[in-house]
A and B are shown apart, each in its own frame.
Chain A
Amino acid sequence: GEFGVTADHVPLVAQLKPGVLQILHEGSSEAEKYFVAGGWSITHPGSKTDITCPEAVKIDDIDSDAVTSGFEAAKTAFSAAESGSREQAEAQIDMEVNKSMGAALGITLS
């Protein structure tokens, strides 16, 4: 599920699934939004949090047309692939990432 980290949060190790990462800077109302494909969030005792992701994109940089066509292509690959095969698993991951990218942009894909 989603969670927020504030000061004095309980130390936590969380594996992140594809979704939106929001950073709220002190004294500013606008949040920095990134879409991450996965990664880890580790909150240490002492109110320090490390977030590490191999890939992160600013939401503004995501092209909605590319996301929609990517989702459609992944959907086709999913149905075409053998059930339980590696291709199907990869297509499923593709679909999920594109779906969450769409959700971040406000598009519902299914």
Chain B
Amino acid sequence: MAFRNGVQRLSRNLPRLAAQSGAARGMATEKQIWNQIQSTKNIRKITASMKMVSAAKLKGDENRLAVAAPFNAWTKNMGSDRVWIETPADVDYAELPQKTLIVPLTSDKGLCGGINSFISRATKDCVAKLHAQGKECDIVVIGDKGRSQLNRAIPESITRAATEIISPGNFNLAAALSAELVAAGAEDYDAVMIVYNSYVNAAVYNQYYQIVKPMSGEGEDEPMIEYEFEPDVKSEVTQDLYEYLLTSQLFYSFMDGAAAEQSSRMTAMENASKNAGEMIDSLTLKYNRARQSRITTELIEIISGASALEEGK
């Protein structure tokens, strides 16, 4: 009889005790927190390995950039230098001519931090300012990320898009791209403007734009008037020289952009791993608390069961 009383008392108290232990509806159980911890650990492993892969690739890209910079140095004598877009609001693009072809360089793959957003923002800002100045412009986007971002914002300006460019490129790629641009009528524009990220160091990259002007114009505007040309037909030579100039600039911008992309991806993955680590720490604390309260509950059950039996005797 006493035994039955004890069991009855226990069975009456059990729901209340269970609620006290925290297994109430809506709160994560121990098992759920454990699963969350495991999946976050996996994510941390993936982001850490992505970071190491990016660091290794960055080394290669830095070397390529170091070769590309002196290769492209001759273009500094052939026109204007690149312009740093430090604060997009401050750049007025006043020196751009009536018709410009904008070529923003973005990546195809994601998980690379802010590089593509910066380029899209600069391009959108440029288009808006050019239209305000009464000038025209068209866009040839390189890279899937830029294409989707700009397509959402200013689809009417986009003439062409080039995606699935295997990064990093080489000179042949730049040559093929510039041939495409010329075939699409790049020379009808008064200038081609390349918008790209430039690698400074592993933590810093800046946005630049580079203007490439075709060598046309007559009379006073005739370019390179003091130079002699070999072979003699100047128009043919300037046509080829323009293509080569565009290719060289594109090549350099590609190398710069690739290095910037890798450094940005490395930083983004590093931050992701750090955040995952912090999440794991706080989840582990939560898990331990849940585990301890479960143990406490079980102890209480046992003890109250035992004391109920004793009282009953």
Q: A: which residues have CB within 8 A of B?
A: 3, 10-15, 40, 42-45, 48, 50-52, 54
Contact = CB atoms under 8 A, between A and B. Distances in A.
B118 interface: no
Interface in B201-260: 224, 226-231, 237, 240-241, 244, 248
B171 interface: yes
> Closest 4 A-B residue pairs measured CB to CB?
A50-B74, A14-B230, A11-B227, A52-B74
Interface residues of B, number: 18
A12 B229 contact: yes
Given A40-B241, A40-B244, A54-B171, A13 B228 contact: yes
B228 A15 contact: no
A15 B230 contact: yes
Interface of B: 71, 73-74, 77-78, 171, 224, 226-231, 237, 240-241, 244, 248
B226 A45 contact: yes
B77 A12 contact: no
B172 to A, nearest CB: 9
Given A40-B244, A52-B71, A52-B248, A13 B227 contact: yes
A65 to B, nearest CB: 26
B175 to A, nearest CB: 8
Given A15-B237, A42-B74, A42-B227, 18 more contacts: A3-B230, A10-B228, A11-B227, A12-B227, A13-B227, A13-B228, A13-B230, A13-B241, A14-B229, A14-B230, A43-B227, A50-B77, A51-B74, A52-B71, A52-B74, A52-B244, A52-B248, A54-B171
Contacts of A15: 230-231, 237, 240-241
A11 B227 CA distance: 5
Contact of A48 (B77, B228, B240): B77
Given A10-B228, A12-B228, A12-B229, A44 B77 contact: yes
B249 to A, nearest CB: 12
Given A13-B224, A52-B248, A42 B229 contact: no
A11 B228 contact: yes
27 contacts: A11-B226, A12-B227, A12-B228, A12-B229, A12-B230, A13-B224, A13-B227, A13-B229, A13-B241, A14-B230, A15-B231, A40-B241, A40-B244, A42-B74, A42-B77, A42-B227, A43-B227, A45-B226, A48-B77, A50-B73, A50-B74, A50-B77, A51-B74, A52-B74, A52-B244, A52-B248, A54-B171
Contact of B237 (A3, A10, A13, A51): A13
Contacts of A43: 227
A44 B78 CA distance: 10
A91 to B, nearest CB: 19
Contacts of A3: 230
Contacts of A52: 71, 74, 244, 248
Contacts of A45: 226
Contacts of A54: 171
Contacts of B230: 3, 12-15
Q: Which of A12, A13, A43, A48 has the most CB of B within 10 A?
A: A13
Nearest to B72: A52
